[in-house]
Structure 1
Amino acid sequence: MLGALLDWLLSFQVYLPIAEISVSVLLLLALGGGIGFLSGLFGVGGGFLMTPLLIFIGVPSPVAVATTANQTVATSVSGVLAHWSRENVDFKMGAVLLSGGVFGSLVGVAIFSILRRYGQIDLVIHLAYVILLGSIGLIMLAESVRTLRRVRRARGRAMAPRKLHQHVWVHGLPLKMRFKKSRLYISAIMPIGIGFVVGILSAMLGVGGAFLIVPAMIYLVGMPTSIVVGTSLFQIIFVAAVTTILQSIENRTVDVLLAFVLTIGSVIGAQFGGRIGARLPGEQLRFLLALLVLSVAGGLCYELVARPDDLYVLQGLTR
């Protein structure tokens, strides 16, 4: 009975006009709900997981990247509104990050178009995700293991507070600006550079870039943790929107129907993930997230070396 009901639900197929495949609506809702759940549980945007999973279910890599950027806009707006209500958004810093992010997205879309024209975009996306997720996963795993060990050793005795950042060469750069909300007087060069890199990643991989902005702004720039998350989401809204528009005009790889179904699932899943995540220790969450990231990287790595179904594919240059 349960199997028949599941087969009946899976039989509802939706045709994705840009991806040019038919996919179960239930599968897309479950995928969006799962990513939303993980986003609420671990406090991440989920774009770096959504794109590989879309590729796993058969969505072409260019469409997966562009569509994930489209979905990131909706999720980031929701997050910014929540942080804005708590006055945790530095709009001046966000504008500086955005200036670099928009230029980076222009460069990223141009590179994306060139690679797609010569038929190398799938390989580049897979390799980039394997390297990116593998590096992030290993760093997070090592950091979480060290934290777990430190917590166990420190039980029963107070831990000495640690400084989040130190004054390094970054603070000696020119073009200094004062950011009252973040209580900083620093050079605008570093935030612009961080935004530029995130813009390229957003265009090339469909990620929001919070996993890069947040640690960079905390440990390099010295931005307060309570302010950096909301500010990062504010910047991501516009960078992801610019990326979506450029991908739609230049490459025609944004599948709005796919993004819509995924967004519905992710909004629902995020509510449950946020409630459960509030009950679990942070170091355990980071450990679990590291394992998840490494498993996705391993799956993509396997696809790179596995024997394909079609050994030869004829493909002309796209214009």
Structure 2
Amino acid sequence: MIPWVFILVSFFASVIGCICGIGGGVIIKPVLDSFGLYSVSTISFMSGCIVLSMTAYSVLKAQLAHESVIEKEISIYLGLGAAIGGLLGKQLFDAIKDLFAQADTVGAVQAAALFAVTLGTAVYTVCKSRIRTYQVTAPVLCAGIGLILGILSAFLGIGGGPVNLVVLYFFFSMETKIAAQNSLYIILFSQAASLLFTILTGRIPEFPGVLFACMVCCGILGGAVGRRINKKIDGHIVNKLFLGLLVVIIGICCYNFFRYI
């Protein structure tokens, strides 16, 4: 039963992740952690790979279909910063994991960090109509913002998560659907760098091969379905889905924190 649950979680998380531009890892990582079947390192690795496959498909498909709304003058620097951040975030994860006698205790740190990020995102989302936004264009600032997003993405093993959208709203005044697509572009860079670092340093954790392959395939399929839905629904519905998702993630983070400590 459990393998099918993992596969379904990968599919539906990728559908929602593609619609909202959060990558899906922010759902996959805490939900799979809550089952306690695999180590934190294994779940982080699997989640990152699923997110990478989904975002790669979504970004490439949008480019080939000439439907891309990626702000290349901005997102290329965000992506480069996110790639460097992905490397640093992975190193940060390994360093914190090595601090504890029980390696999975790092899961409590991840859960607490994700809780704080998600709660802050929820508060901003509710109040964003009253918050002034900006139009950052300086390449150095864009790269710096991407760097921070990449570190969070790789350390938490969530791809990009809700924080990407808030950052794109606040610093670049992007409309919901445009922010969603640009968020996937940033996630692609950070997760690719994180995976490359893991491979080159030989720190790939043990994982169930067949289940992993099925989850990756479902991640890509979920990205395909999510793209279709995103094109048909209004931005207001995306906002409501996004906010509801944040509430669920906050609850799961609380559960995981107390399970790991």
TM > 0.5 fold call: yes
- Indicate the residue corresponding to 2:28 in structure 1: 50
Structure 1 residues 239 and 286, CA gap change in structure 2 (3 angstroms): same
The equivalent position to 1:133 in structure 2, one of 80, 93, 118, is 118
Structure 1 residues 218 and 280, CA gap change in structure 2 (3 angstroms): closer
Query: In the TM superposition, what whole-angstrom CA distance separates every residue of 1:44-78 from its partner, at most 9, and x where no partner exists?
Result: 32111110011012232222222222222211111
The equivalent position to 1:282 in structure 2, one of 235, 239, 248, is 235
TM-score, normalised by the number of residues in structure 2: 0.79
Structure 1 residues 36 and 228, CA gap change in structure 2 (3 angstroms): closer
Q: Structure 1 residue 243: deviation in Å? A: 0.2
Which runs of structure 2 are paired with 1:42-191 in the superposition (5 Å)? 42-58=20-36, 59-84=38-63, 85-119=66-100, 120-140=105-125, 142-143=126-127, 165-166=133-134, 186-191=137-142
Query: In the TM superposition, what whole-angstrom CA distance separates every residue of 1:217-251 from its partner, at most 9, and x where no partner exists?
Result: 34323567776544443333232111012234253
TM-score, normalised by the number of residues in structure 1: 0.66
Structure 1 residues 272 and 287, CA gap change in structure 2 (3 angstroms): same
Instruction: State the secondary structure of the residue aligned to 1:97.
Output: helix
Query: In the TM superposition, what whole-angstrom CA distance separates every residue of 1:156-194 from its partner, at most 9, and x where no partner exists?
Result: xxxxxxx98456xxx6xxxxxxxxxxxxxx321221111
Instruction: State the secondary structure of the residue aligned to 2:74.
Output: helix
CA RMSD of aligned residues (A): 3.3
In 1, Cα distance between equivalents of 2:90 and 2:115:
20
The equivalent position to 1:295 in structure 2, one of 234, 248, 252, is 248
Instruction: State the secondary structure of the residue aligned to 2:205.
Output: coil
Kept in 2, the 8 Å contact 1:28–1:261? The answer is: no
Q: Unmatched 5+ residue regions in structure 1?
A: 1-9, 11-23, 148-162, 172-185, 312-319
Q: Structure 1 residue 83: deviation in Å? A: 2.9
2:115 aligned with 1:194: no
In 2, Cα distance between equivalents of 1:300 and 1:213:
18
Comparing both structures, which one devotes a greater share of its residues to strand? 1
In 1, Cα distance between equivalents of 2:150 and 2:4:
32
Q: Structure 1 residue 276: deviation in Å? A: 5.3
Q: Which moved more, 1:36-45 or 1:187-196?
A: 36-45
Kept in 2, the 8 Å contact 1:54–1:64? The answer is: yes
Instruction: State the secondary structure of the residue aligned to 2:113.
Output: helix
Kept in 2, the 8 Å contact 1:100–1:193? The answer is: yes
Structure 1 residues 100 and 88, CA gap change in structure 2 (3 angstroms): same
Kept in 2, the 8 Å contact 1:37–1:273? The answer is: yes
Kept in 2, the 8 Å contact 1:32–1:261? The answer is: no
Structure 1 residues 229 and 289, CA gap change in structure 2 (3 angstroms): closer
Instruction: State the secondary structure of the residue aligned to 2:120.
Output: helix
Kept in 2, the 8 Å contact 1:96–1:191? The answer is: yes
Q: Structure 1 residue 124: deviation in Å? A: 0.9
Q: Structure 1 residue 271: deviation in Å? A: 4.6
Query: In the TM superposition, what whole-angstrom CA distance separates every residue of 1:5-29 from its partner, at most 9, and x where no partner exists?
Result: xxxxx3xxxxxxxxxxxxx432222
Q: Structure 1 residue 36: deviation in Å? A: 2.5
In 2, Cα distance between equivalents of 1:134 and 1:68:
21
The equivalent position to 2:12 in structure 1, one of 34, 47, 56, is 34
Q: Unmatched 5+ residue regions in structure 2?
A: none
Q: Structure 1 residue 195: deviation in Å? A: 0.8
Q: Structure 1 residue 263: deviation in Å? A: 2.1
2:170 aligned with 1:219: yes
Percent identity over paired residues: 19
Structure 1 residues 209 and 230, CA gap change in structure 2 (3 angstroms): same
Q: Which structure's CA Rg is the greater one? A: 1
Which runs of structure 2 are paired with 1:220-239 in the superposition (5 Å)? 220-222=171-173, 228-239=179-190
Instruction: State the secondary structure of the residue aligned to 1:44.
Output: coil
Instruction: State the secondary structure of the residue aligned to 2:70.
Output: coil
Instruction: State the secondary structure of the residue aligned to 1:213.
Output: helix
Runs of 4+ in 1 over 6 A off after TM superposition: none
Kept in 2, the 8 Å contact 1:218–1:228? The answer is: yes
Comparing both structures, which one devotes a greater share of its residues to helix? 2
Kept in 1, the 8 Å contact 2:109–2:257? The answer is: no
- Which amino acid is the alignment partner of residue 30 of structure 2? P
In 1, Cα distance between equivalents of 2:76 and 2:229:
33
